[in-house]
Copies of this chain bind each other. A is one copy, B any other.
Amino acid sequence: MCAIVGVINSQDAAKTAYYALFSMQHRGQEASGISACDNGEILTHKGKGLVTEVFNESSLKTLKGDMAIGHNRYATAGKNSGNDSQPIAANYSLGQISVVHNGNLVNKDEVRGALIDEGAIFQSNMDTENIVHLIARNHSPHLQERITAALDKILGAYCLLVQSRHKIFAIRDKYGVRPLSLGRLKDGGYIVASETCAFDLVEATFIRDVRPGEMLVFENGEDEFESIQLFEPEPRICAFEYIYFARPDSVVEGKSVYDVRKKMGAALARQSKIKADFVVPVPDSGVPAALGYANESGIPFELAIVRNHYVGRTFIEPTQELRNLKVKLKLNPMSEVLKGKSVVVVDDSIVRGTTSKKIVELLRHAGAKEIHFRVACPELKFPERYGIDTPSFAELISANKTCDEVCKYIGADTLEFLEIDDLVKSIGDEREYSLVSFDGNYFIK
C-alpha cells in the first residue's frame, strides 16, 4: 500500500511533494522518499519512517529544482525490508531516471526471473525495480518509447511516475485499479497524486483523474502536457479505495469517499432491521459508515469508543496486568454510555478477526449487553493481489470460516457483512470495480 506524488514546473517542487506525502500518510508509514531534479541532476533522499521522520529542513533543502516525485509506503505486516524504499533512482543508458510505483505487478516474479537470467541484479524486493530494468534494457533512444515497451511486458495494477532530467511521465494501468489524479498548483505547476486530499493541503486545483491506460507527459518549462492513451481502458477501480484505503476527504474517480462510505453504512442498515440503543463506529475508519447506518436506521449515533491519537510509539513493555494493551492504547469504549445497552458496532472490514475480537471484548467489559457487529464491506475471502497488502488465504478469517463462525469467534451477538451488490451500488453501479478480495475474480493474471 503506497501513495505517490509528482510535481513539475513548480518552485520548491520537493517541498510541495513533502506536504502532499504528509497529507496522504494517514495509515502509518514505513518508508518515504523524494527525488528532485535540479540542473539536470536527479538527487534522492529516502529512508524508513514517516515523511516527518525521514526529512528535516536540511535534507529537504538539498532537493532543489522544479521537478520532484515522492513515495510513501504504508506499514506492512510483512518481513523486514531494509532497503525497500522508493523512489528508485538509477543511472542508465539515457542518463538518469527515478521511478515511484503504487500497485502490484502480478507477473513480477517471471519478469524478475527473466531479467536476472539476462544478468540483471536486484538490490531490493520491490517490483518497481523490474520497471527500471525494463526501461534500461530497451534500445530505443527515446525514454517514452522505452517506457511503453516496458509496460508491454508487465501485467498488474500500477500507477507509475517516471522522472527523467527533463520530464515526468505519469502512467495508470488500463484497469485503473489504483487511483491517480491531476491537479494544478497556484504557481502554474502540475501535481499528480494518489489521493486528492493532497491537493487540498498544497492548495492545488483538481483538474481530472488520469484515465485508465493513459500516460501523461510533462516537460519541464512547458505549460502544456501531452496525453497518450496507451491502452484501451477497461476500468475496474479498486473497491478497497472506497472501503478502507483512501482518506474520507479524497475523491476517487469523481466519488467522494466519505459519501460512498455513508452509503455503504446505509445499505448495511437496510440489509436487516435490528433493534438497538445506538450505533457505534470503530474510530476512525468506521465513522462514515456508522453515520450512514444511523441515518438510515434511525438508531442514534454515538461515538462511544474513544480513540487516543497521542499514542505515538511506546516501547515500554506492559506489565502482566495489562492485557490487550495494543488495542487498548488506541481504543477506549465508554462504559458510561455502553452499560446495559444494545449496540450496533460498525467497522470498515474484518481481516484476521483478532482486532474485532478484542474490540468486542472491550465493549463487553464496558457493559454492552448486545453487540451487533456490522462490517461495511463484504467478506474478505481472497487475497488482494493488485497493490493492497491483504494477507494470505490462511490468515483471512472469512476465507476459512462462515459468517456464523466468525461471529462466534469474535464474540458478537450477530454479525453481518455488506453484500457485494450493495457495495457496488454504494459506489455507483454504472461501472465495474475490482472486487477480487470478495469474489476471487482475478481479472489480471
Q: Which residues of A contact B (CB under 8 A)?
A: 11-12, 15-16, 18-19, 22-23, 25-26, 28-29, 43-45, 50, 52-53, 55-57, 60, 62, 80, 82-83, 88-93, 97, 112, 116-117, 119-123, 132-133, 136-138, 185-187, 197, 200-203, 247-249, 251, 256, 258-259, 284, 287-288, 291, 295, 300-304, 306, 308-310, 312-319, 321-323, 328-329, 332-337
Q: Which 8 pairs from chain A and chain B are nearest by CB?
A: A119-B137, A256-B336, A90-B121, A249-B306, A91-B122, A309-B309, A249-B334, A121-B136
A14 to B89, CA, bound (A): 29
Please tell me which one of the listed residues B12, B29, B82 contacts residue A45 in the complex, with CB atoms under 8 A apart: B82
Please tell me which one of the listed residues B25, B80, B92, B300 contacts residue A310 in the complex, with CB atoms under 8 A apart: B25
Is A136 within 8 A of B123, CB to CB?
no
A-B contact pairs, 18 of them (CB 8 A): A22-B310, A29-B310, A43-B82, A45-B82, A52-B314, A120-B136, A121-B136, A123-B123, A187-B321, A201-B329, A201-B332, A203-B321, A249-B336, A259-B336, A259-B337, A287-B303, A291-B302, A301-B301
Please tell me which one of the listed residues B28, B291, B304, B328 contacts residue A301 in the complex, with CB atoms under 8 A apart: B291
A88 to B138, CA, bound (A): 25
Q: Which residues of B contact A52 (CB under 8 A)?
A: 312-314, 316
Q: Which residues of B contact A26 (CB under 8 A)?
A: 308-310
Is B258 within 8 A of A303, CB to CB?
yes
A344 to B302, CA, bound (A): 19
Q: Which residues of B contact A319 (CB under 8 A)?
A: 11-12, 15-16
Given contacts A92-B122, A288-B303, 13 further A-B contacts (CB under 8 A): A16-B321, A18-B316, A23-B308, A25-B310, A52-B312, A88-B123, A91-B121, A92-B121, A120-B136, A121-B136, A197-B332, A202-B321, A287-B303
Is B291 within 8 A of A303, CB to CB?
yes
Q: Which residues of B contact A28 (CB under 8 A)?
A: 310
Q: How far is the CB of A124 from chain B (nearest CB, A)?
A: 9
Q: Which residues of B contact A304 (CB under 8 A)?
A: 258
Is B123 within 8 A of A90, CB to CB?
yes
Please tell me which one of the listed residues B136, B256, B315 contacts residue A119 in the complex, with CB atoms under 8 A apart: B136
Q: How far is the CB of A63 from chain B (nearest CB, A)?
A: 11
Please tell me which one of the listed residues B57, B80, B314 contacts residue A22 in the complex, with CB atoms under 8 A apart: B314
Is A256 within 8 A of B309, CB to CB?
no
With contacts A26-B309, A332-B249 known, is A19 near B303, CB below 8 A?
no
Q: Which residues of B contact A122 (CB under 8 A)?
A: 90-92
Q: How far is the CB of A343 from chain B (nearest CB, A)?
A: 14
Is B82 within 8 A of A334, CB to CB?
no
Please tell me which one of the listed residues B56, B91, B322 contacts residue A316 in the complex, with CB atoms under 8 A apart: B56
Please tell me which one of the listed residues B56, B93, B288, B337 contacts residue A256 in the complex, with CB atoms under 8 A apart: B337
With contacts A203-B322, A256-B337 known, is A316 near B60, CB below 8 A?
yes
Across the two chains, which residue of chain B brings its CB closest to A281? B303
A336 to B256, CA, bound (A): 6
Q: Which residues of B contact A112 (CB under 8 A)?
A: 91
Q: How far is the CB of A315 from chain B (nearest CB, A)?
A: 6
